[in-house]
Structure 1
């Protein structure tokens, strides 16, 4: 379980600004690192590979290794998933581009898919970078079984676009996608295939 000590870190982060390199590790501009988060040593250790990849993506290319692409951060609401994602960006000193999956769902069909395309286009322009999608289950519920999305073409189009964008990464794409959820059981199995969100940090 991800346990972010938010009360402990709030005071430290309030006045901390981005460094000279311009790290965008949060919407307010302050830089968060692993040192700011207590009690999640195992999660931080699992995310070290992501940090190393973002610091030196060319190394993976030279070695012919398969770069990481997507990671699911799983935990109850309020347990520090967002703060942990920001800390990955802070450790790697890369742009942190965040959104909530619920923002993708619009009354007009096609708007969600368009927003996903724009999000990934921005991340590629600013690479190496992190895309953080909070509450990813809002658009990624299973299309089969008891958790299937009920007749919502917009959500399905948005999910399909998200999967297409992740499949479109080439070996030189230095973009990591972090998704947060407290309901991994309802996610579409297609989201967890290799090259997508095939890693889980709890």
Structure 2
């Protein structure tokens, strides 16, 4: 029995990493959505008309206001119940520019007045859209992962084929015992690989491939390597199980 340690399958480890990454991404998406929902529910201001704002101001219920161009954001002096819900903050809109009369009334009511530049819309939009973008990206990633098995046939760059360079010690027909008939049939393939232009000038077409058939151990792989060696071309070697996995999964 061999004492060599069993090496972990890289595919299994990659699968575990993918599952952990998917779980982490899903958790982050849910966290962002929950935080946005809780924040919007807890700090949601009451939307009041300008007339209601003036009425609250006359009643001494306004504690602070901030002007952002024509927009008004403010805080009540005490929680106000509006349509069955309790609010501490409110927002409104002036019908025009802020007048001196409004500022005087605010000063008479001892309201804290502030003014700010309106925030850029893109930042707010991206902040609100980020959780949804992550959520959509997560499901796209899941879909592509599930479809990955069907797309493997087109991912030859990721195949497990082993490249044998023509610079390495060559295998030629002299290394193949017997199989004289097969060697004779493959000699034309070798000539084509050596000088394809010679056949193209005569109207010849590139062969799609040659299938070597025979029981295991009869020298099919050695014969294929000999063809590459005789023609001076690189040789790609892949086991049957890897080849089937690339197309079937």
Q: TM (normalized to structure 1)?
A: 0.39
- Larger Rg belongs to: 2
Identify the structure with bigger relative contact order (alpha carbons < 8 Å, sequence gap 6+). Answer: 1
Q: Which has the higher helix share?
A: 2
Q: TM (normalized to structure 2)?
A: 0.32
